[in-house]
Structures are given as structure tokens and as C-alpha cells.
Chain A
């Protein structure tokens, strides 16, 4: 499990090349900055199409959208073949490349337990093309392909529980984290760096343009997501051992997270109570898992 760090233990060295072309207040740009600080310079960064975040001072490899897992596999096997296993193989993908179009190849790479990092900046829609729904979009959220119409209002399906899905592959390490909790994020990378095999980190990365809130509130939004239980912070080792990293005495009501975001503006009281119930139920499962130290579905 990851070991807690404090703010003073966050590396000072910046590995991003800035300013970049991300929007003002981009959560993913911050995610990239924090992740690669902790990863360090000895890595090859892999890209598939996604919204621009932060460019980092790493050699870069890219391939087709649907191929994240295969690309990382190829690099890792190639490095093995030429005797350079010291180099870290890091994929920094969006939720589209993880939950949806890239899922198949990632699942196969997880099953083969390739020695790679898969890091997802989850902004809960296809933001690069202008906010279309993805498998990561939460229920009822408005996107440009789940509009608020007179008949259907927002997305009608729930978000995939991607961390548990990958945990079910029995991979050595998977964790969720958030740009609102940099110490948690960096502690998890630090731990992952000691693990050989498939490592995955799902980072909540609020998007002011798609979620429709003011860009200055990105961190506040991330924190509210965690504090309401909508975005729990946890880690799972070998598909089994479980730890909940953030456990407040009481969760805030989900409305505190939903209300400031215009993508949820149309929600009815009924919609909100459904989200509240879902969240409470999942939170109960997570608490129980934490108590047992073993993941429950």
C-alpha cells in the first residue's frame, strides 16, 4: 500500500514544459504535472489521442487511439529485448482511451500483466472533441451527445466502475486518486514505482469547460467529489487487498458537488436522490472492504 507523504515531500523539480495549450484551469494539465514529477525523468511517455494536458520533458511515443495497452506492451517488450528494463513505460491516457475505445487492448495487457503504467486522467467525457459522453460520464450529466432535451435529459446510464473492472484482472496495483489530493496522488505513484507488473492510476481531473463551472474552482470541485463520496480514493493490490485512503466521519451531501456544475443543472430531486443512494450504497461497500482489507464488488 502507498505510504502517506506530506506536502514538503512532493518533489520540487518540474518535468513539464510550460506554458502548454490546455484550457485555463485544466485539471488534466495539473494531473500530468503531478504524475510526471513523481515518475521522474527515466521514462518514455506514451500518448493516444486525448485532450491536450501538459507536455512533459520525456521522450514521447504515440499510436492509434484504440491501442494504448498494445503500445505500452510493445515498448516494454522492446526494452526487454534490448536490455533496457530500467526505463519506465508510462501511458497517460484520457477516459475515452481507457474506458471505451482503448479498453480491449488495455484489458489484454492487464491479463498479460505487462510491466507498464497506465495512468488515466478522467474528465468524464470526450473533451478533446468538445464534450461528448463516454463510459466515464456520470449518470444524468449533460454532454453534447447526451443533451438535455424535452424528452431525454442527460445521460441515462451509470459510469463504469473502471477501477474494480481492472482489479478483477488481478493486476498488482490499481488506485484512484484526484488532483484535489496531490499528496495522495504522488504517494500512489511512489508505491507503484516499487511494483513490477501492470500498474494503474485513475485520476479525477475536473474540466471547467465540459463540466461547466468557473476554472478557478477546479481544485474545489475535485475535493467536493471526494468529500461527497462520488470519487472515493482507494487502492487495490493483486486484485484483492483493499484500502480506502480518505475516510471522513461523514460524507457531504452530493448536492454540494452537483450544484456548482452546470452539466447537472437540470437534475430533478428524484435524480439527485438516485445519485445520493448510489453513492451511499457504494460507500458502505467501500467501508466494509476497508474493514475486511479485501475488495468487495
Chain B
């Protein structure tokens, strides 16, 4: 099953009630799968064909507000086009779930700059490794986003082409099990005329402290970590699959002197590289950074205590700043008394192929830094 089919299947399993999307490569086939499902009566949902991504986003935003479970998906330029209403969706604390099929901002091929450009919109962000994880993350996203302690939208991203059009085995959960695990969604607070609270009539708002909305929103995202961990665990119990602690996932880190950190589909290639490094007697492990927002700061502080160097492979670059995850990891370990070196590698931009051998070399470099203890601040473009 290709990545886009896995996502569409999850949307069906989640019994999404309103979905909307505008076709954009490489997301397009999701819109076709969903249209088919609705046309054939497999999915009892309103699928709204709109005239652009901005409208697709606002359609699900409004539908979520009245109490429908919603789904929207896009790629690259479409993601950029819907930037404006994304702020409103999160500000209104609406649990919309979005799939971003990565397409970089320079060209058709994947990198993470489309979703990374949305860092300031107040959404939670996941980056997934394979098609099974796309399906599982989609289902988990509804559970996390709709949790009354969270009530925030989630975007999960997976690399266009590399996953969207690549077929691999995917296990599909039983509809009945999903129904047991994922209860129906109810809007909160209700805006139906017979349910709305009198104080919410007329759309009045408190203007006394304009900064309060920002603070509460920020804290809500940070505090969502507990719920993410909880949902990952309960998903594992119900369906037999979970991903590390839900935020990060470690691979062969036992006794590692250095670790690499990867996001999205590069993680799979990195696993193969780690195996080779270990085979060659090099003690390098891997951490998959799965949840980027909220950033799992504490996880990296724990890892930072155990290793001499961290090599971050970013498939994004904030031009003039550097890799987004690299910056966050360095920030996280600053509080440690003894800090490991953190190396910045930028790879796979514009869809540039990243091979096992490339990551093998990154691993060796990171290990060398761990042994020498030097702190490198230079960026390496792989």
C-alpha cells in the first residue's frame, strides 16, 4: 500500500465526517482515494471539492467548530497557501488533523520546508518514517487532538514520492477496534444556537490582556506531551504497534558513544546505516525525532547525558539560521552540566537522494567528534 492510500485508509477508519482538499502533487491521490470512498459509500462523509487550499482549510476549520471530525491534506505550495487560516484553527483550539505530503519550497521534490514554514502557526507537528506509521499516526492524531486536555490541531508529515507513491506492506486495524478506541468527537464549546452559552453569544471576547491568548496556547502545546505519550502507549496496547515513547524513538542506542537524529523517511535509511556502523564495531545509535512540536526537550537532555556527540540530520533549513531541529537540540542540551557536541548535517533538500553510505559517513564523523570532544559549529551539506 502506498503512503497516500495508508493515510486515506486511516481517514476512513477514523470515521471522518468532513474532509476537504485541493489536489497538489504529491498529495493528489489522497483526494482521489477519498472521493472514491465517498462515491462508493465506503466513507459516510462530506468530501468538499474546493477551489484552493485556503478554502479547503477553512472548510474543515468551520466544520470542526460545529462538531464534525475533519481531515485536510496538502503539499508544498498548497501548505504555504493555507498558512493564514492555520493560525485561526489553532487559536480556536480546533482538533483538525492534516496530512502534509512533503514537497519542498524549491521545486517538486520532498524536503520538510513546507511544514517547517508553519512552525509559528501553533499546530502540533509529527514527522513519520513509513507508510504504516502514517496510518497509525493519523489515528493517534485524532485521539491526541480531541483530548479535552489538548484540543489543538495536528499536522503529520511524510515525504512525498519516497512514501506517498512507494508501496509497502501496511497492516490495517479492524474498524471495530478503532471504533472502540476512538470515541466520537464533540465540539467544545458548542456554537449550536440551542446549546451555546449566553456569555458566548455575539462573539464577545476579553480584551484585558492580549498576551494571555499567546501564553495559554503555548502552554497547551507544551503540556500536550503527556497526552502524546499516553496515546502512543494505549495505541500500542490496542493495536500492537507503538513508536518509542510517542515523541522520540531510539534505535540501537545501548552503549552508544554518539547518536544520530533523523526525521521522516530518512530515519529508515539511517537505521540501515546504523546497522552497518554497529557491524563495523562503531558505537553509534539513532534517535528518531517523531514529534517536533511540542519539542521533546527532556528526551534530548536524557540522551545528551549519555553520549559524547549528537549528529542531527535536518531535512530542512531555516535560511540564515540553520536546521530547525539542530537549533532545538542545541538549545535543549544547554542546561546540562556536561554537554555533548552537536553536529549539524543538512541532507535531502529539494529531494536530493540520501544513501545509506551518506549516513554511514555522518555516523563516523559524529563518533569522531564524540571521541575528540570538540564542538563543531560548522554546517555540513550532505
Partner of B63, one of A17, A55, A78: A78
Partner of B59, one of A42, A46, A73: A73
Expressed in whole angstroms, the minimum distance between the Cβ of A187 and any Cβ of chain B is 24
- Give Cα A70–Cα B59 distance, bound, in whole angstroms: 5
Partner of A74, one of B51, B54, B61, B203: B61
| Residues from chain B with Cβ under 8 Å of A107 in the complex | 51
A208 at the interface (CB under 8 A from B): no
- Give Cα A41–Cα B193 distance, bound, in whole angstroms: 7
Q: Which parts of A42-74 form the interface with B (CB within 8 Å)?
A: 42-47, 55-64, 66-67, 69-74
| Residues from chain A with Cβ under 8 Å of B48 in the complex | 73-74, 77, 112
- Give Cα A80–Cα B56 distance, bound, in whole angstroms: 17
Stretch at the interface among A81-89, A139-147, A193-201: A81-89
- Give Cα A43–Cα B201 distance, bound, in whole angstroms: 11
B1 at the interface (CB under 8 A from A): no
Q: Is the CB–CB distance between B58 and A44 below 8 Å?
A: no
| Residues from chain B with Cβ under 8 Å of A61 in the complex | 62, 65-66, 191, 203
Expressed in whole angstroms, the minimum distance between the Cβ of A224 and any Cβ of chain B is 33
Q: A75-B62, A84-B192 are in contact. Are A108 and B85 (CB under 8 A)?
A: no
Partner of B193, one of A58, A78, A82, A105: A58
- Give Cα A74–Cα B191 distance, bound, in whole angstroms: 14
A22 at the interface (CB under 8 A from B): no
| Residues from chain B with Cβ under 8 Å of A287 in the complex | none
Q: Is the CB–CB distance between B202 and A81 below 8 Å?
A: no
The contact string, 1 if C-beta is below 8 Å from chain B, for chain A 32-48, is 00000000011111110
Partner of A81, one of B52, B61, B63, B191: B63
Question: Chain B: which residue is nearest A82 at the CB level?
Answer: B67
Expressed in whole angstroms, the minimum distance between the Cβ of B18 and any Cβ of chain A is 5
A104 at the interface (CB under 8 A from B): yes
| Residues from chain A with Cβ under 8 Å of B357 in the complex | none
Expressed in whole angstroms, the minimum distance between the Cβ of A144 and any Cβ of chain B is 25
Instruction: Choose among A42, A72, A105 the residue with the greatest number of B CB atoms under 10 Å from its CB.
Output: A105
| Residues from chain B with Cβ under 8 Å of A45 in the complex | 203
| Residues from chain A with Cβ under 8 Å of B57 in the complex | 70
| Residues from chain A with Cβ under 8 Å of B67 in the complex | 78, 82
B68 at the interface (CB under 8 A from A): yes
Question: Chain A: which residue is nearest B67 at the CB level?
Answer: A82
Q: Is the CB–CB distance between B193 and A87 below 8 Å?
A: yes
| Residues from chain B with Cβ under 8 Å of A112 in the complex | 48-49
Q: A104-B52, A107-B51 are in contact. Are A59 and B60 (CB under 8 A)?
A: no
Q: Is the CB–CB distance between B202 and A57 below 8 Å?
A: yes
B223 at the interface (CB under 8 A from A): no
Q: Is the CB–CB distance between B68 and A78 below 8 Å?
A: yes
A-B contact count (CB 8 A): 140
Expressed in whole angstroms, the minimum distance between the Cβ of A69 and any Cβ of chain B is 7
Q: Is the CB–CB distance between B58 and A63 below 8 Å?
A: yes
- Give Cα A69–Cα B70 distance, bound, in whole angstroms: 18
- Give Cα A107–Cα B56 distance, bound, in whole angstroms: 14
Q: Is the CB–CB distance between A59 and B51 below 8 Å?
A: no
| Residues from chain B with Cβ under 8 Å of A43 in the complex | 193
Expressed in whole angstroms, the minimum distance between the Cβ of B94 and any Cβ of chain A is 10
Q: Is the CB–CB distance between B58 and A71 below 8 Å?
A: yes
Expressed in whole angstroms, the minimum distance between the Cβ of B329 and any Cβ of chain A is 34
Expressed in whole angstroms, the minimum distance between the Cβ of A193 and any Cβ of chain B is 15
Partner of A59, one of B49, B62, B196: B196
- Give Cα A6–Cα B64 distance, bound, in whole angstroms: 41
Question: Chain A: which residue is nearest B195 at the CB level?
Answer: A59
Q: Is the CB–CB distance between B62 and A55 below 8 Å?
A: no
- Give Cα A80–Cα B57 distance, bound, in whole angstroms: 18
A163 at the interface (CB under 8 A from B): no
A162 at the interface (CB under 8 A from B): no
| Residues from chain B with Cβ under 8 Å of A74 in the complex | 18, 20, 48, 58-65
Q: Is the CB–CB distance between A78 and B88 below 8 Å?
A: no
A1 at the interface (CB under 8 A from B): no
- Give Cα A223–Cα B192 distance, bound, in whole angstroms: 37
| Residues from chain B with Cβ under 8 Å of A66 in the complex | 54, 84
Q: Is the CB–CB distance between A59 and B191 below 8 Å?
A: yes
Q: Which parts of B56-114 form the interface with A (CB within 8 Å)?
A: 56-68, 70, 84-85, 88
The contact string, 1 if C-beta is below 8 Å from chain A, for chain B 120-156, is 0000000000000000000000000000000000000
| Residues from chain A with Cβ under 8 Å of B61 in the complex | 63, 71, 74
Q: Is the CB–CB distance between A57 and B63 below 8 Å?
A: no
Q: Is the CB–CB distance between B62 and A64 below 8 Å?
A: no
- Give Cα A63–Cα B85 distance, bound, in whole angstroms: 7
Q: List 12 A-B contacts (CB under 8 A).
A: A55-B202, A56-B202, A58-B202, A59-B200, A60-B201, A61-B62, A70-B50, A74-B61, A74-B65, A75-B63, A82-B66, A105-B52
Measured CB to CB, the residues of A under 8 A from B are 17, 41-47, 55-64, 66-67, 69-75, 77-82, 84, 87, 104-105, 107-108, 112
- Taking A55-B203, A61-B191, A75-B66 as given, write out 12 further A-B residue pairs in contact, using a Cβ cutoff of 8 Å, ordered by the A residue number: A17-B201, A41-B193, A55-B204, A58-B193, A59-B192, A61-B203, A64-B84, A74-B60, A74-B63, A78-B63, A105-B52, A108-B50
